[in-house]
Amino acid sequence: MRKTGLSMGIALVALMGVAAAQPPVNQQHFAAEAVARDAASYAASWHATSGALGEFSAQTVNAIVGNEGFINLRELRREASYGNPDAEAALGLFHLTSTGEAYDPIAAFAYNSAAAEAGMPVAQTSLGLQYLNGVGTTRDTAKAAHWFEVAAKGGHTQAAYQTGVMYLEGEGVEDDSLMARYWLLRARENGDRRATRLLADFATF
C-alpha cells in the first residue's frame, strides 16, 4: 500500500481543518487561511457531536486511517472515482486544509462540489466556505448562502451558524433578522459558542 507519509495526527488535521500556520504571501493565501480557520471551527463543532469521521461510512474511515495510522489517499481517490460521496467529502477537506503540496483548493472545490450535490453536509459547508472566501473558485456569496442553508437543514452546526450570519448581514441573501435568529438559535442549541456570543450581542434577539 502506498503511503503519503502523513500520520494519523495529520489525518485529523485534514478532516478537522486544523491547518498549520503559514506566512501569508498574497490575498489568495489570506483567503485560504480564513477558510482553514472556519473549517477548523465547523469541523471541531461537528466532531464534538457526531464526529467528522462519524459522517463518513466505515469503508471511508478505513481508507482515511489506513494501516498504521496513515491516510490511504490512493484508496480514497479510487472510491471518489467511483462516485463515493464520503470519499469525495474527505478529499475535499484534505485538499482544503492541508499545507504544502497537498493544499489544492481547486481540487477541493471539485471534490466538495460533487459531494455537496450528493448530499454530504460537511462538503456542503466546505463548498459554502470556498464560495464565501473565493478560494478555489470565484467568490459568490449567493452560492455560499445557498450551500450553508442546505447543510444547515441537514443538521450541520457550523452551517447553521454561517447561515444565521448570512441572514444577519444580508450577505448572499436579503437581510432577515427572524431567519438569522432561527439559525443562530439552532447553532447555539448544538453547542456553537460563537452563536451564543452573537445572540447575546443583539438585544433584538
Average pLDDT over residues 163-181: 95
Query: In sequence order, what DSSP letters do the residues of 158-181 get, joined into one string?
Result: HHHHHHHHHHHHTSSS---HHHHH
What global pTM score does this model have?
A: 0.73
Q: What is the pLDDT of residues 119-141, one digit of tens each?
A: 999 899 999 999 999 999 999 99
Alpha-carbon torsion 109, 94, 53, 24, what sign? negative
* Res. 53: pLDDT tops 60: no
Hey, what's the cell of 24? 501569508
- Strands of 19-134 (E only): list them: none
Query: What was the pLDDT predicted at 78?
Result: 87
Percent of the chain topping pLDDT 90:
43
Query: What was the pLDDT predicted at 57?
Result: 65
* Res. 153: pLDDT tops 50: yes
* Res. 24: pLDDT tops 60: no
CA distance 167 to 180: 5
Average pLDDT over residues 61-86: 74
CA distance 9 to 17: 12
